[in-house]
Amino acid sequence: MSNKQFDVVVIGGGPGGYIAAIRAAQLGFNTACIDEWKTKDGKPAPGGTCTNVGCIPSKALLQSSENFEHAGKHFADHGIQVSGLALDVAKMLGRKDAVVKQNNDGILFLFKKNKVTFFHGRGSFVKSGAEGHEIQVTGAANETIAAKHVIVATGSNARALPGAPFDEVNILSNDGALRVPQVPKKLGLIGSGVIGLEMGSVWRRLGAEVTILEGLPTFLGAVDEQIAKEAQKAFTKQGLKIELGVKVGEVKNNGTQGVTVAYTNAKGEAQTLAVDKLIVSIGRVPNTIGLKPEAIGLQLDERGAIIVDDLCRTNVPNVWAIGDVVRGPMLAHKAEEEGVAVAERIAGQHGHVNFNTIPWVIYTSPEIAWVGQTEQQLKAAGVAYKAGTFPFMANGRARALGDTTGMVKFLADAKTDEILGVHIVGPMASELISEAVVAMEFKASAEDIARICHAHPSLSEATKEAALAVDKRTLNF
Ligand code: FAD
Ligand code: NAI
């Protein structure tokens, strides 16, 4: 075994891995984190998909593009005249890159602060034995290190359409979608899931004509139906063309001539979509490239995900796995929570992740956010429930903002009044959902929220009013 021995080695420095490493170090373990992501000039860029080509850059571009849309379309409503409005895409992308770099540097700082040893390179399993696990690091650092415990947090990669590999020029994954150098005249997207809607919104706001082709007949099937319908109405009004129930056929990359997509529409008619760029956002696949799981007999499922139990234990003793590379929702905060929980379990504590209260947010405009069960899930499970909704149209702060689309919806147990789900489509839904998460963690009833004093005027009053609506006693609607 190498003389570089650690209590805990984390492979992967995304939100799952870097947070796991920090928590392990806080708990007193001699901890290392290996991450191979690098900048264009080869420097370490920890933070994984989330920081480099996911959550952070997409939110930076969503904000910039929303500002552009507001300046062009909505400032006039406030009596602000804008003339000579112009777009500098290079500067917008540069700002996004600077935001990413702040986050990369922040993580390197946090490693130092918490005394986590950082290795910039790829981690591959060599062997496992009674003394622990041996890992080969290759890249900027080249050495073999050993660990008593290993936490695998190697994340996921974009799924390509068969026969249409990503070239990141014409056929784009999330990576290329975040650095298109000029606004395409026509942009196509395959998949109207989270990435399809967020990236479609960015480029539509900046002037692209956007068409999204979705295989399923239902829009946002996992979202509460009433909320999904409201969102679909808003997106369609904004000019996003969303075709549901299509079957995508041959995708041709025509170089400088763009991309053509042959597909069959919901009526069974053969169609062709010709676009300048195509974003393929049809889900992600767990990533174990270069990890050499076979070297220690680590078991993967048929999707390539590392098999873990409820506590994130793999089949190999003291090898744990978290985040996108294992089952469950592919969300940064889910990965983080698993990272913290595993570090605490290694320390003999009772780390816990409550999968029933993981919030989801889609950062479109209006934003969509939810926690807990949807109305259709409750119906399918035969649970007796009460529903209460409150529209932002009746909320003073939303009117002042000029953003009255959408509603807050509460679902509560018919007998006990316990909150079973909260669903929001509307302004700042991403922030408003936290109150619902706290309420559900504390097993609150709808009445509990209805009786809590909420600041006026605030969007959160819509949350209180939706809770009141469960008992049919809204005050402002
Ligand atoms: P990752 O973030 O993928 O990190 C894995 C890291 O491991 C990478 O740095 C990789 O280089 C490294 N690695 C892999 N193999 C090795 C190896 N053998 N050796 C060394 N290093 C290795 N989630 C949200 O919650 N909110 C959002 O707003 C959101 N927006 C998103 C937007 C987009 C466009 C995309 C694509 C995803 C978004 N997600 C969002 C999902 C989120 O990014 C992931 O759920 C999250 O990054 C998963 O974290 P992770 O730590 O499991 O893996
Ligand atoms: P997704 O699972 O959200 O959506 C994929 C969509 O593509 C689905 O609607 C699916 O029916 C459709 N689809 C699949 N195959 C298809 C085909 N052959 N033809 C047409 N449609 C097809 O996946 P997406 O958008 O790629 O995002 C991946 C994951 O990244 C998300 O599930 C989420 O976990 C994470 N993410 C989270 C964000 C957030 O939290 N705000 C933002 C972006 C991504």
pLDDT at 3: 60
358: tokens are 């993981």
Q: Please spell the DSSP secondary structure of 263-288, one letter per residue.
A: EE-TTS-EEEEEESEEEE-S-EEE--
Helix (H) or strand (E) holding 18: helix 15-26
Q: Which ligand ends up closest to the CA of 157?
A: 1
Work out the angle at residue 338's Cα, subtended by the Cα atoms of residues 326 and 345, and round it to the nearest 5 degrees.
115
> What CATH number is given for 5-158+285-353 in this structure?
3.50.50.60
Residue pLDDT, tens place only, 389-413: 999 999 999 999 999 999 999 999 9
Q: How far is the CA of 236 from the centre of ligand 1 (A)?
A: 30
Q: What's the mean pLDDT in 275-293? A: 98
Give residue 331 CA to ligand 1 midpoint distance, Å.
8
Per mean pLDDT, which range of 95-104, 131-140, 263-272 is the poorest? 131-140
Q: Quote the pLDDT of residue 1.
A: 45
Question: Using one digit for the tens of pLDDT, what is the confidence trace for 192-241?
Answer: 999 999 999 999 999 999 999 999 999 999 999 999 999 999 999 999 99
Say whether 423 is catalytic. Answer: no
Does ligand 1 have an atom closer than 6 angstroms to the CB of 155? yes
Is 37 touching ligand 1 by the criterion CB < 6 Å? yes
Residue 14: CB within 6 Å of ligand 2?
no
Q: Which residues of 104-130 are buried (b: 16+ CB within 10 A; e: fewer)?
A: beebbebbeeeebbbbbbbbbbbebee
Kindly report, as residue ranges, where domains of CATH 3.30.390.30 are found in the chain: 357-470
The rounded Å distance from CA 191 to ligand 2 centre is: 6
In this structure, how many other beta carbons lie within 10 angstroms of the beta carbon of residue 357?
15
Q: What is the pLDDT of residue 327?
A: 98
Report the percentage of the chain scoring pLDDT > 90: 98
Tell which atom from ligand 1 comes closest to the C-alpha of 323: 52
- Residue 271's pLDDT is what? 98
Distance CA 389, CA 410 (A): 6
Does position 426 have pLDDT exceeding 90, yes or no? yes
What's the CA-to-centroid distance between 85 and ligand 1, angstroms? 35
Nearest CA to ligand 2 atom 41: 362
* Catalytic one of 74, 149, 350, 456: 456
pLDDT in tens, 38-87: 999 999 999 999 999 999 999 999 999 999 999 999 999 999 999 999 99
51 CA distance to ligand 1 middle (Å): 8
Using CB atoms within 10 A of its CB, is residue 386 exposed (0-12), middle (13-18) or buried (19+)?
Answer: middle
Position 131 scores a pLDDT of: 80
- Pocket probe for ligand 2: among 189, 220, 284, the residue whose CB has the most ligand atoms within 8 Å is 284
Domain with CATH 3.50.50.60 in the chain: 5-158+285-353, 171-282
Say yes or no: CB of residue 55 within 6 Å of ligand 1: yes
Q: CATH assignment of 171-282? A: 3.50.50.60
Ligand 1 atom showing the smallest separation from residue 329 Cα: 45
The reply to whether CATH 2.60.60.20 applies to domain 357-470 is no
Note whether 172 and 279 are within 8 A (CB): yes
Closest ligand (CA of 283) = 2
